[in-house]
Amino acid sequence: MTIRQLLLLYSRHATLRLGVHCLLWAALWVTTEDPDVDTPFLARLLELAYAMAAFYLLFYGPVPRWWAQGRYAGPLAAGIVLVLSSGPILYEQYQLANPHSTYAFLPAYRAYGPLAIFLSGRYFFYALFNGLVLNLAPPALLKLLKTLAEGQLARQRTEQLAYRLHLDALLGQVSPHFLFNTLNNLYGLVLDDDSRAPVIARQLAALLRYTEELAAYPAVPLQAEADFLDDFLALARIRYGAQVSLESYWQLGDEAEAGLPPLLLLPLVENAVKHGLGQHVGAAWVRVRGEARPGELVVTVTNSCYPASQLLATGSPGGLGLVTLRERLRLLYPNLGAFPLTLVVTASTFVATLRLPLWPAPAQTTSFLTAAPSATLTS
């Protein structure tokens, strides 16, 4: 059981918390007993009760809330009360242990009350440090360690939530972008009065369903992602006709069921289709090649292009889809460094190469493939 699970279990069960507190106070009682000093039971009980009262006042009463709110007058007042209370506690302990003692603190206390502890450093040490701090330190240390652990876990949960929200937002950018492009493809077929438009519409619906349901999974089988990209290319092939060349080669082997974040490769192919086919005059082409090695995937997407058609206004190659892809890669693979995606622009070609480690096969592979079958497009 992890520390996080233990803390969660502890916070959810009041009986468990009560039992742990009782056990720790009992342990403190046993470990602080001095066998060389015959201290009456009531004197020891008074000392322990004082430590318990101080502990719960400082760590469970209003003092922590005041401190968190920046209202330091309350905690300061509580500290002063505890310091002044140490004098009466010490006096009562001596009275219980030896009511006829000639210890000088007793008449000093009768004369000055709680302020007697300030008359001598020895009085102050015995009253405050020996009486309070030594008994308060062990439970206070445990409480502080627990608070630090809870704070660290809370920060981790906050970071994970922010990471998940950011990743979901980036994934959400991919799906609308894909929807916009595929609807444009269908619109072109309708304008051309293509008889295949109704069939393509149904097949397009299957692709859109695939993208919608993918968002619920942290990983999908590599083969399913490759099939989806092939279907997307088939749709583009129908849209642009025989004047373009779209090819894909996949060598997945034993890694076909390995895991991959959903829709991670789509921006590469979309970018190639947009710039390689939509903005090119004459023979245009796109080639997708994916090779899976043990634990690794290398995908290379090459397309024809104008010399500057895939340059952003900033001068960096690619488009918005590749900017989003880089951000997803940074979040999903924080240990890959800055260059898992390399882009090369020449006078007539654009080459994007992505090299990624593969994840273990997702547990939901069977149900996933049943829920979101690949659409088979024919040209």
Query: Per residue in 93-111, pLDDT tens?
Result: 777 777 777 777 778 888 8
Of 51, 78, 64, 76, the C-alpha closest to 144 is 64
Q: Are strands 284-293 and 244-251 parallel, antiparallel or unpaired?
A: parallel
Q: Is residue 379 part of a domain?
A: no
In this structure, the answer to whether residues 131 and 247 fall within a common structural domain is no
Percentage of the residues of the chain whose pLDDT score is greater than 70 = 80
Query: Could you say which DSSP state residue 32 is in?
Result: T
**Under 8 Å between Cβ of 88 and 114:** yes
- 219/361 same-domain check: yes
| Reported confidence tier of residue 30, pLDDT bands at 50, 70, 90 | confident
Position 255 confidence tier, pLDDT thresholds 50, 70, 90: very high
User: Is residue 168 domain-resident?
Assistant: no
Same-domain status, 86 and 200: no
d(CA 336, CA 367): 30
Residue 296's Cβ-side half-sphere holds a number of Cα atoms within 13 Å equal to: 6
pLDDT value, residue 292? 95
What's 262's domain CATH number?
3.30.565.10
The mean per-residue pLDDT over the stretch 221-235 comes to: 88
Shared-domain flag, residues 137 and 255: no
pLDDT at 120 over 70: yes
| Domain limit, last residue, from 135, 158, 181 | 158
25 and 137 fall within a common domain:
yes
Domain boundary among 132, 158, 184: 158
pLDDT of residue 160: 64
Q: Is the pLDDT reported for residue 358 higher than 80?
A: yes
Average pLDDT over residues 78-103: 80
Q: In whole angstroms, how far apart are CA 256 and each of 96, 188, 232, 296? A: 80, 34, 19, 11
Do 309 and 225 fall within a single domain?
Answer: yes
- Same domain? For 200 and 341 the reply is yes
Q: In this structure, are residues 290 and 297 in contact, taking their beta carbons and an 8 Å threshold?
A: yes
Strands (E), the chain: 220-221, 244-251, 259-260, 284-293, 296-304, 341-345, 349-357
In a domain, 178, yes or no: no
Over the stretch 32-76, which tens digit does the pLDDT of each residue have?
Answer: 777 766 778 888 888 888 888 888 888 888 888 888 778 888 888
**Is 13 within the bounds of a domain?**
yes
| The predicted structure's pLDDT at residue 259 | 92
User: Which range has the worst mean pLDDT, 20-34, 153-167, 185-199, 205-219?
Assistant: 153-167
How far is residue 37's CA from residue 79's CA, in Å, rounded to a whole number?
Answer: 30
- Identify which has the larger pLDDT, 135 or 264: 264
Tell me if 25 is assigned to some domain.
yes
In a domain, 167, yes or no: no
**What sign does the CA torsion over 222, 227, 230, 231 have?**
negative
* Residue 377: partners with Cβ closer than 8 Å, 6 or more residues away: 200, 203, 231, 234, 235, 238
Q: Which domain holds residue 279?
A: 194-371
Residue 165 lies in a domain: no
b/e for 263-272, b at 16 or more Cβ within 10 A?
bbbbbbbbbb
Do 22 and 143 lie in one domain? The reply is yes
Q: Are residues 255 and 355 in the same domain?
A: yes
Q: Using the predicted structure, report yes or no on whether residue 368 has a pLDDT greater than 60.
A: no
Same domain, 60 and 151: yes
Q: What confidence category does residue 373 fall into, taking pLDDT thresholds of 50, 70 and 90?
A: very low
**Are the beta carbons of 108 and 119 closer than 8 angstroms?**
yes
DSSP string, 148-183: HHHHHHHHHHHHHHHHHHHHHHHHHHHHHHHHHHHH
pLDDT at residue number 252: 95
pLDDT of residue 372: 46
Question: Total domain count for the chain?
Answer: 2
Beta carbons within 10 angstroms of residue 126's beta carbon: 18
Q: Residue for token digits 């001598």?
A: 120
Of residues 353 and 369, more confidence is placed in 353
| Domain-located, residue 175 | no
Q: Which residue has the tokens 């619906």?
A: 205
Q: Mean pLDDT check: name the lowest of 94-108, 206-220, 365-379.
A: 365-379
Class of residue 237 by CB neighbours under 10 A (exposed 0-12, middle 13-18, buried 19+): buried
- The pLDDT score that the predictor gives to residue 250 is 96
313 and 221 together in one domain = yes
Distances (CA, A) of 13 to 18, 149, 248: 9, 18, 57
- CA distances 167 to 224, 228, 330, 334, Å, are 21, 21, 10, 13
- Note the pLDDT tens digit of each residue in 135-182: 778 888 888 888 888 777 777 776 665 556 555 655 555 556 666 766
Query: Among 2-16, 163-177, 239-253, 276-290, which stretch is predicted with the lowest mean pLDDT?
Result: 163-177
Tell me, yes or no, whether 211 and 268 share the same domain: yes
